[in-house]
Amino acid sequence: MTKKLTRRQVAWRIAQDIEEGNYVNLGIGQPELVANFIPADREIVFHSENGILGMGPEPGPNEVDYDLINAGKKPVTMLPGGSFFHHADSFGMIRGNHLDICVLGAFQVSEKGDLANWSTGGPDAVPAVGGAMDLAVGARLVFVMTDHNTKKGDAKIVRKCTYPLTGPGVVNTIYSDIAVIDVRPDGLVVREKVPGISFDELQARTEAQIGGRASCRELSAPEIE
């Protein structure tokens, strides 16, 4: 049986790859979970694109202040050392390559690291892009957090994205619920996969060609409530 990671376990796995001193932006939604699993001995500075560095965890019920929210419009807190700045400065930081890592969700990632995460191109959809395109081109490393396949079982890691792109060739590493895959100049290389699935099965669930059959390690995460 294939033992998939839960979303919180994927978030834990991503957190292990965030290093001491990194400036990190977590995308809206699932990527926000990553903040819960940063190892206690690492000091990380979280950026929120509305204009915060040094963002802290969710406030207690009596500390909520809606002038202090994150990009997902949820209340947050400030850590000692934090700062506020206006929106143009915030995106200057992003585009100017000052962030070490951003973690984004995805509809599709291609074998060249193209990312599609803002529009399914549907005729009735209201287009909305937010800061995704800026983060995709600006962060030094772009990590994608995603289920490996859609609910219908379709591949999300594809040869060529069929949805409108957020950015071409921007993704560095894909963290799915069954594998960690690096985007390299010569293609996708599996760094880790869950033990319950063979490399051939992983390939079958990935439309793009994947390498790393001989070198890939076991992907595991602690049990998380």
Q: Which of 157, 166, 155 has its CA nearest to residue 187?
A: 157
The maximal CA–CA distance of the chain, rounded, in angstroms, is 53
CA angle, corner 101, sides to 95 and 104, nearest 5?
A: 90
Question: Binding of another protein at residue 73 (CB under 8 A)?
Answer: yes
Q: Enumerate long-range contacts of 85-91, CB under 8 Å, 24 or more apart.
A: 85/51, 85/53, 86/51, 87/49, 87/50, 87/51, 89/51, 90/47, 90/49, 90/50, 90/51, 91/49, 91/131, 91/134, 91/138
Question: Binding of another protein at residue 127 (CB under 8 A)?
Answer: yes
Spot the catalytic one: 32, 49, 192, 207: 49
81: how many CB neighbours lie within 10 A of its CB? 9
Q: How far is the CB of 62 from another protein (least distance, A)?
A: 16
Is 207 noted as a catalytic residue in this protein?
A: no
Binding mask 144-183 for another protein (x = CB under 8 A): --------------------xxxxxx--------------
Question: Binding of another protein at residue 95 (CB under 8 A)?
Answer: yes
In eight-state DSSP terms, residue 147 is -
The residue from 138, 178, 197, 210 that contacts another protein (CB under 8 A) is 138
Question: Binding of another protein at residue 122 (CB under 8 A)?
Answer: no
Q: How far is the CB of 94 from another protein (least distance, A)?
A: 6
Question: Binding of another protein at residue 59 (CB under 8 A)?
Answer: no
Question: Binding of another protein at residue 32 (CB under 8 A)?
Answer: no
95: how many CB neighbours lie within 10 A of its CB? 14
Question: Binding of another protein at residue 114 (CB under 8 A)?
Answer: yes
Question: Binding of another protein at residue 141 (CB under 8 A)?
Answer: no
Question: Binding of another protein at residue 68 (CB under 8 A)?
Answer: yes
Radius of gyration of the chain (CA): 18
Question: Binding of another protein at residue 49 (CB under 8 A)?
Answer: yes
> How far are the Cα atoms of 24, 37, 44, 176 from residue 107, in angstroms, in the given order?
21, 24, 27, 12
How many residues belong to the chain? 225
- The region of 36-44, 61-69, 142-150, 198-206 touching another protein under the rule CB under 8 A is 61-69
Q: Summarize as ranges the residues that interact with another protein (CB under 8 A).
A: 48-52, 65-69, 73, 78, 84-88, 90-92, 94-95, 114, 124, 126-134, 137-138, 164-169
Active-site residue list: 49
